Chain A
Amino acid sequence: MDVRAQISMVFHLDKCIGCHTCSIACKNIWTDRKGAEYMWWNNVETKPGTGYPTKWENQSIYNGGWVKNGNDIGLRGAGKLKGLLNIFHNPNLPVIDDYYEPFTYKYLDLIESPDMDDQPTARPISLITGKPINIKMGPNWDDDMSGTPDYARNDPNMEGLSAAEQEAMFQLEKLAFFYLPRICNHCLNPACVASCPSGAIYKRGEDGVVLINQKVCRAWRMCVTACPYKKSYYNWSTGKSEKCILCYPRIEAGYAPACMHSCVGRIRYLGVLLYDADLINDTASSENEDLINRQLDIILDPFDPKVISAAKANGVADSTITAAQNSPVYKFVKEWGLALPLHPEFRTLPMLFYVPPLLPVMAKLTTVDNTDQSKKMDDRAKYWPDNWLYDTSTEELFSTIEQARMPLKYMANLFSAGDESKIVNVMKKLMAIRMHRRRATVGDISDEKADNMLEQSGYNALTADDIYYLTSLAKFDDRFVIPASHREQAIEMLEFTGDVKGSVGFGFIEKPARGI
């Protein structure tokens, strides 16, 4: 057993309101630079939709991720043979137009315009060439555009849904969508690391953050192809690839990453997971239907004395083990079984988990006779001829799940490699918690029914209250359990600090300018 620690995340999609605050926080700190304008290390997509870059999930276009070859796995569009053969020209590389051409506006024209009959306008100009452009796309171009033929209908996750099911999703009355915020998954089996010919990308042993060494990157561009989530970006100006760094300078200082810290809906949780690194390759090579279960199996119980002693023997700090025991991620993923990885079939073992949305409001249309009700109404009051009711009372326990407006198959394509039973399982749990809370707050649910639902979902009232607390009431320190990075020890282990006594402590850092 090779126990390592991984800082991982849970995004609770039921709480995401799609405000893009996370994206802006990230952009302002990290990617507001030349060559990085088009990069959104954190982005929020509307689902169903095509996403950013367009149709990134469709690996028949981008050839990202791993594929199973017998008992092993290989990179789909990169790797030792394909990567080196395609080094002069990589046919699987997404280009700037697959993302969008970054732009700004000539705001100064508004101010400096001479007197004229018409209002001055600020024309859009390209941030690459500086010339006027027609904006064709943006990072969230399909925001809230679910149902439109250009976006929702081209969603790669529609695969496996019947034509009727798809049409039903796009009818205006039945239209539903949710938001999918995405950052780098800091995978256990990262395809970007495996694809890098110069070995510039690595996973940090202490906390599992995946980083690109900017001094070793030589612009061979294979990581952009290999990452199935398209979260490695090529900086066209510096000639280096860049990606989400999980705000490691903030994490090392004990702060939550900027996207998580700024999250308005408080949908994000961050904590440590302990896992067995010996099993990574076996787990990533397992059959499609076993992928999720085995990925969850590789995550170890931080309370198990065997795990603790193995972790200590491996140099995992005591503070990290304590953080793993308090980790909200461990609770969501392992204890409560509420969170699932995004697209586990890409076989990178992503360490960002999502609680699928129980959307929209749990209700079903029931036919009712409204005649009596109409008679009671005043003549001047609005006449209400409808004979349906948006029924939020639940007679049967879990009936609304099967009739969910967002088809289970669609959710399964996103979060469980197509296995609907896993989604149903999570939905039931989420619904049981809601009913449990409804009993307490609204009071129109009988104890018997609420308890019955909890029992069927495998919870008891205490667990349900814990889940409710961490979902709805959790404070900052509950949501982000960040282990100390022990930099003081790390430095002492690296060098004799007496050698640098009296010096400034910083080396001369090279300006990150483009080479010649």
Chain B
Amino acid sequence: MVNLDVLLFTAFPYFALFICIVGSIYRYKFLSFKYSSLSSEFLEQRKLFWGTIPFHIGIVLIFLGHLFIFIFPKETLAFNSVPIRLIIIEVGAFILGLSALVGLIGLFIRRLTNPRISIVTSKMDIFVEVVLLAQIVLGVWIAYDYRWGSSWFASVLSPYLVSLLTFSPEITAVSQLPLVIKLHIIGAFLIVLLIPFSRLVHFIVAPFSYIWRPYQKVVWYRSKNRVRNPEESWGVTRPKNN
């Protein structure tokens, strides 16, 4: 059992993260045409609204919550020391989890029943949706059955994740966790592993740069400032454009 835990909570996370980073960079550099959110709104708009909005709001905020507690465990514990705050956080997270669950079920039904959408559905899409669905079900279950997750995540899982990132994996605490939580952890790394192989890549290229770029974009084939003087011979440094 100990060996299995080492495999699942040490080897598998490193494998998943490695493949995710290398694979995403490879796909970005060499298969960039396939980097897309593959939106199907153009083929079906109305049902999509009732699926994608609750799903994305739920999943994005839950993800940011996990990220926050991972990065700031002490602050979270301090914040949670007042019971009413803890209850608000837990109830809020539970509702968001349900929202993601309901949204994803809606999206899944739409994908399976709409003939136009099934044309643009790959096997990987179905697999990703099944994994996500399982992960969200597990998450909601944990939130319901193993309460005060925001606190025990901070005290148990944050150190574990930090230990992973500092290359000194410490899994004694994690291996004592209930099976549901263990599955949820494995599911998380499975999703990380799937990123470069599925449409999940779209979340890596979320367009934040749009916020600070100017509206208009003009691209020159040749840099106006770096036009080579043809009368000179080529120097050691080649002119670079863009």
B230 touches A189 (CB 8 A): no
Q: Which of A191-199, A330-338, A360-368 contacts B (4 or more CB under 8 A)?
A: A191-199
B39 touches A239 (CB 8 A): yes
B207 touches A515 (CB 8 A): no
Nearest CB of B to A499, in Å: 8
CA distance A364 to B115 in the complex (A): 56
B222 touches A80 (CB 8 A): no
B53 touches A89 (CB 8 A): yes
* CB nearest neighbor in B for A99: B42
B56 touches A206 (CB 8 A): no
Q: Which of A209-245 contact B (CB under 8 A)?
A: 214-221, 224, 234, 236-240
* CB nearest neighbor in A for B196: A516
B217 touches A203 (CB 8 A): yes
Q: Which of B43, B199, B207 contacts A236 (CB 8 A)?
A: B43
A84 touches B34 (CB 8 A): no
Number of interface residues, chain B, beta carbon within 8 A? 58
A216 touches B239 (CB 8 A): no
How many A-B residue contacts, CB cutoff 8 Å? 171
Majority DSSP secondary structure for residues of A touching B: loop
List chain B residues, Cβ under 8 A from A489. Answer: 222, 230
Majority DSSP secondary structure for residues of B touching A: loop
List chain A residues, Cβ under 8 A from B207. Answer: 84, 87, 197-199, 218, 220
CA distance A205 to B223 in the complex (A): 10
B31 touches A129 (CB 8 A): no
A84 touches B210 (CB 8 A): yes
Q: Provided the pairs A96-B43, A492-B230, A493-B227 are in contact, do residues A236 and B34 lie with their beta carbons within 8 angstroms?
A: no
Chain B CB within 10 Å, residue with most, of A89, A190, A499: A89
Q: Which of B71-130 contact A (CB under 8 A)?
A: 115-116, 119-120, 122, 124-125
Q: Which of B162-216 contact A (CB under 8 A)?
A: 197-199, 201-202, 205, 207, 209-211, 213, 215-216
* CB nearest neighbor in A for B197: A516
B205 touches A88 (CB 8 A): no
B221 touches A203 (CB 8 A): no
Nearest CB of A to B39, in Å: 4
Number of interface residues, chain A, beta carbon within 8 A? 63
List chain A residues, Cβ under 8 A from B215. Answer: 79, 193-194
Nearest CB of B to A220, in Å: 6
Q: Provided the pairs A96-B42, A219-B37, A514-B38 are in contact, do residues A237 and B120 lie with their beta carbons within 8 angstroms?
A: yes
Q: Which of A214, A239, A513, A516 contacts B198 (CB 8 A)?
A: A516
A201 within 8 A of B: yes
CA distance A315 to B115 in the complex (A): 53
Q: Which of A89, A130, A193, A198 contacts B41 (CB 8 A)?
A: A89
Q: Which of B41, B199, B221 contacts A204 (CB 8 A)?
A: B221
Q: Which of B31, B39, B49, B221 contacts A205 (CB 8 A)?
A: B221
List chain A residues, Cβ under 8 A from B4. Answer: none
A510 touches B31 (CB 8 A): yes
Q: Provided the pairs A84-B211, A89-B52 are in contact, do residues A516 and B216 lie with their beta carbons within 8 angstroms?
A: no
4 closest Cβ contacts across the A-B interface?
Answer: A515-B34, A197-B207, A194-B215, A205-B220
Report 13 cross-chain contacts, Cβ distance below 8 Å, ordered by A residue. A80-B210, A128-B116, A129-B115, A193-B216, A198-B205, A199-B217, A204-B218, A205-B219, A218-B35, A240-B33, A493-B222, A494-B222, A516-B124
